[in-house]
């Protein structure tokens, strides 16, 4: 395979199978932006209903998986999942008067809503890093098919990947990068296919030598793919898709999906090294949190659009991404006390708890 071949990256997707409308940040973007709002015209009185209207299959499947997993380990992750995005308020920027939505988030790895938020955040971080790289490359390290349990195969893959990163050959040719894990299953449903992708920068990488080194380290796996990254945005979206979640659970059988969830519990599924060290691949604290004020709950606005001019004005400002210049509601938003206390804490705008859409 030619080293300088253009890597054909799949387009992004949303959990309901529709093409993603991932848009690059603009000069007017704020730190509260974490996800495109292409579904703003869809139905739903609560913010959670509004967001899940196009991905009900994924949500139901995630609920079933967490129900069974909770039963086995005596936990209540399902309760967290069911509350995700249930508490939401419209926020107004004190200077620009732009409108955003703040919502509670469960932060669970397999929550379809949180996955969408993480994808957007990671896409921005990766795209920003790639923008300054010279001739970035995309590597894939695979293992030969094996009948071992998935957890054992992941253990081995991670062990081998750590070993090759420590090797002088790897350090000589690769200055830094972002790695992420992906899992598939063969078409005949017999073999798991775990592999690690690396978006990196460095010198020319001799493919045959790298493959030979990988074969030696893994005791037989020799397939290593090296391709040049030509489209930074598509590369960033591809990285983000699997750095946010290694696969789409809804595309697997129930038993396989449960095995994936168990095998990856507590494991890192992405990371950085070298020149990419320090790149954030997770939600970060909202630096301009003090510049935003709550104006009205999402439910209040959505249910009063037909007879409340203020609600209609807030909604239109949000959907059209333009400043809201109308009067503010006379009463404060109905925020649950527990969440209100969280907002008053120093870390209240950490996006692992609050996610901003917009």
Q: Are 179 and 129 found together in one domain?
A: yes
Residue 295 counted as domain residue: yes
Q: What is the per-residue pLDDT for 45? A: 81
pLDDT at 321: 92
In a domain, 18, yes or no: no
Are 103 and 130 in the same domain? no
0.75 exceeded by pTM: yes
User: Residue 98 in 3-state DSSP?
Assistant: coil
In a domain, 38, yes or no: no
Domain membership of residue 19 (yes or no) is no
**Angstrom distance (rounded) from CA 68 to CA 63:** 9
Each residue of 227-274: pLDDT tens digit?
A: 999 999 999 999 999 999 999 999 899 999 999 999 999 999 999 999
Domain count of the fold of the chain: 2
Whether 215 and 152 share a structural domain: yes
25: enclosing H helix or E strand = none
Is position 285 within any domain?
Answer: no
Q: What mean pLDDT, rounded, does the chain reach?
A: 81
Tens digit of pLDDT for each residue in 258-271? 999 999 999 999 99
Q: For 98-146, what is each residue's pLDDT tens digit?
A: 999 988 889 999 999 999 989 988 998 999 999 989 889 999 999 988 8
Q: Are residues 329 and 236 in the same domain?
A: no
Q: Quick one: 311 and 352 in the same domain?
A: yes
Is the pLDDT at 13 greater than 90, yes or no?
Answer: no
Q: Examine residue 102 and state whether it is found in any structural domain, yes or no.
A: yes
What is the pLDDT at residue 332?
59
Boundaries of domain holding 96: 47-108+290-357
Whether residue 11 is contained in a domain is answered as: no
Q: Would the pLDDT of 289 be above 70?
A: yes
φ/ψ of 34, rounded to 5, equals -135, -5
- 331 with 216, same domain? no
- Classify strands 224-228 and 292-297 as parallel, antiparallel or unpaired: unpaired
Residue 104 located in a structural domain: yes
Asked if 165 and 182 count as a contact pair (C-beta separation under 8 A), the reply is no
Residues 261 and 335 in one domain: no
Q: What pLDDT does residue 333 have?
A: 59
Angle at 131 (CA atoms; ends 284, 245), nearest 5 degrees: 45
Tell me the per-residue pLDDT of 204-214, one tens digit each, with 9 for 90 and over: 999 999 999 99
What pLDDT does residue 33 have? 32
Read off the pLDDT band of 347 (50, 70, 90).
Answer: very low
**CATH number reported for the structural domain that contains residue 174 in this entry:** 3.30.70.60
Angle at 340 between CA 336 and CA 346, to 5 degrees: 160
pLDDT average, residue stretch 266-285:
88
In the numeric block, the tokens 């991404």 are attached to 321
List all residues 6 or more positions away from 119 whose beta carbon is below 8 Å from its beta carbon. 12, 22, 35, 237, 240, 241, 244
Q: Is the per-residue pLDDT at 21 higher than 50? A: no
Q: Are residues 56 and 188 in the same domain?
A: no
Q: Which residue has the higher pLDDT, 13 or 80?
A: 80
């Amino acid at each position: 395979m030619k080293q300088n071949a253009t890597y054909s990256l799949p387009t992004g997707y949303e959990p309901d199978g529709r093409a993603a409308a991932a848009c690059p940040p603009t000069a007017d973007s704020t730190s509260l932006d974490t996800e495109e709002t292409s579904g703003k015209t869809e139905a739903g009185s609560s913010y959670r209903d509004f967001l899940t209207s196009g991905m009900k299959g994924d949500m139901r499947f995630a609920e079933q998986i967490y129900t069974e997993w909770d039963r086995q380990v005596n936990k209540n992750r399902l309760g967290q999942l069911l509350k995700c995005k249930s508490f939401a308020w419209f926020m107004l920027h004190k200077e620009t008067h732009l409108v955003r939505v703040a919502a509670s988030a469960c932060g669970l790895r397999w929550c379809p809503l949180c996955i969408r938020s993480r994808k957007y955040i990671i896409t921005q971080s990766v795209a920003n890093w790639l923008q300054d790289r010279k001739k970035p490359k995309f590597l894939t390290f695979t293992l030969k098919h094996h009948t071992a349990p998935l957890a054992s195969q992941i253990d081995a893959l991670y062990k081998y990947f750590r070993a090759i990163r420590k090797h002088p050959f790897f350090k000589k040719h690769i200055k830094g990068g972002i790695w992420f894990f992906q899992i598939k299953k063969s078409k005949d449903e017999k073999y798991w296919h775990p592999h690690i992708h690396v978006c990196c920068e460095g010198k020319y990488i001799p493919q045959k030598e790298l493959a030979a080194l990988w074969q030696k380290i893994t005791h037989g796996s020799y397939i290593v793919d090296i391709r040049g990254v030509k489209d930074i945005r598509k590369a960033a979206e591809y990285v983000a898709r699997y750095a946010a979640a290694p696969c789409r659970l809804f595309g697997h059988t129930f038993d396989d999906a449960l095995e994936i969830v168990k095998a990856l519990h507590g494991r890192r599924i992405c990371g950085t090294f070298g020149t990419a060290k320090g790149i954030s691949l997770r939600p970060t604290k909202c630096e301009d949190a003090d510049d935003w004020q709550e104006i009205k709950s999402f439910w209040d606005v959505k249910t009063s659009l037909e007879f409340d001019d203020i609600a209609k004005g807030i909604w239109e400002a949000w959907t059209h991404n333009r400043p809201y210049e109308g009067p503010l509601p006379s009463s404060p938003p109905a925020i649950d006390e527990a969440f209100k206390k969280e907002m008053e804490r120093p870390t209240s705008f950490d996006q692992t708890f609050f996610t901003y859409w917009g």
